[in-house]
Structure 1
């Protein structure tokens, strides 16, 4: 019996292969029919609930948060080390193993003192192409948003993105390992200030600074 991820991996492979294939002059009638048949089958399995990166079911998410994510920073760091960040966000468009548009990037929690950083090494493929030979700048920004947001989550200071500033220092190249690092600089009330970097070897590709706004405390 296959795992759900097996189907998503196969869909991701189709997306990636289609991006670099010369399609003119080929007859894909049978494949198109098969893909539509698959889409019809998946449509019949659709869950009608609020869309979330963490779960298909709101009640399931609430239960997991109550069990796993209320133990403060150390508890959340330990949980991130146990299940991985993709375990927190399986439907993320960047790290989600159950999202067919996700690369997916394997974010890892690294404990540094009493805080946690998020690190990753990922090779971007042509489906993420922007400038010749490089990753699309919007993809870089989106990954930074996820990187810094996840860094806040594992440190129990999560919130919505308030501002995100990107400095593109050099091309982020396709087809080679890109190392990523995110960390929390400081917390001021409801605001968390986080920073991240992309490197190709020793070359700095981009930096990001984000301010994440936590929820208001109920009164």
Structure 2
């Protein structure tokens, strides 16, 4: 037994030493090798980009509302209660496999450039421009949404499928805050009035009920001043296990 352990220790020591020598050889190799290694670093550990931050395509109303909700998220002075933290902005990064074991590293290697469906149009302002805020108790979410020209359905207005997509995104995000991971089980939408392309609207998501693995959420899309109701929806989300997500 002792001899077997000794051989195993010797083998591991050899592999460790051999690997160290290989690393030294690469690091002290040609300029080409060093250049290739430097270019590989951003791929293995890309800096995530937050897609919910302002960009030049945001209109005046989008920026006004963003600043308003951001101001409601400001933290008071140290040692005092967070009187102004009614809302918290939710960052929007590239998709990650964060629920899997070692998922953060898998995401960096395999999905370093993968985006959520609503973030896959690279040209700013052409598709879904939005930012989500949620309350401290996570009972409510609000999304500021600006629709780009690629979302056109009826002439000059947003496609109904694009509206369903952003509703599913916002309510699904809300449900995930409460009991991630979840999948959409039911989405019921009533379209009341069309949304003009390029306009900014508010999407409000409210928790109705939680029953075991089920989360019921209601949602409405209105003009920014609340005077016009564009869309109403209800959604049901079901909590699932990590293995369920990995099986697909």
Give the TM bin, normalised by the shorter chain.
0.5 to 0.7
Q: Which residue of 2 aligns with 1:143?
A: 166
Q: 1:184: how far off?
A: 1.4
Residue in structure 2 matching 1:209, options 199, 223, 234: 234
2:178 to 155, 176, 200: 155
- SS in structure 2 of the partner of residue 162 of structure 1: strand
Partners of 1:92 and 1:99 within 8 A in 2: no
Aligned partners of 1:195 and 1:185: how far apart in 2?
7
Structure 2 unmatched runs, 5+: 1-41, 50-56, 58-93, 107-113, 244-248
Structure 1 unaligned residues grouped into runs of 5+: 6-12, 14-52, 65-89
- The SS at the match of 2:194 is coil
| 1:55-89 deviation per Cα after TM superposition (whole angstroms, max 9, x unaligned) | 2786553679xxxxxxxxxxxxxxxxxxxxxxxxx
Instruction: Name segments (4+ residues, structure 1) moved above 6 Å.
Output: none
Q: CA RMSD in A?
A: 3.6
TM-score, normalised by the number of residues in structure 2: 0.49
User: Is residue 182–residue 197 contact of structure 1 (8 Å, CA) maintained in 2?
Assistant: yes
How many residues in Structure 1 have an aligned counterpart in Structure 2? Answer: 145
Aligned to 1:130: 153
1:134-190 alpha-carbon deviations (Å, 9 max, x no partner): 100000011111110000111235411001000001111112111111121110111
1:131 alignment partner, SS class: coil
Alpha-carbon offset, residue 100 of structure 1: 3.0
**Secondary structure at 1:193 match in 2:** strand
Q: Quote the residue 2:35 is aligned against.
A: none
Kindly report which structure 2 residues correspond to 1:1-219, keeping only aligned pairs within 5 A, or say none: 54-55=95-96, 60-61=102-103, 91-94=115-118, 96=119, 100=122, 103-111=127-135, 114-200=137-223, 201=225, 202-215=227-240
* TM-score normalised by structure 1 residue count: 0.55
The 1:56–1:150 alpha-carbon spacing in structure 2 relative to 1, beyond 3 Å, is closer
Distance between the aligned counterparts of 1:203 and 1:60, measured in 2?
Answer: 46
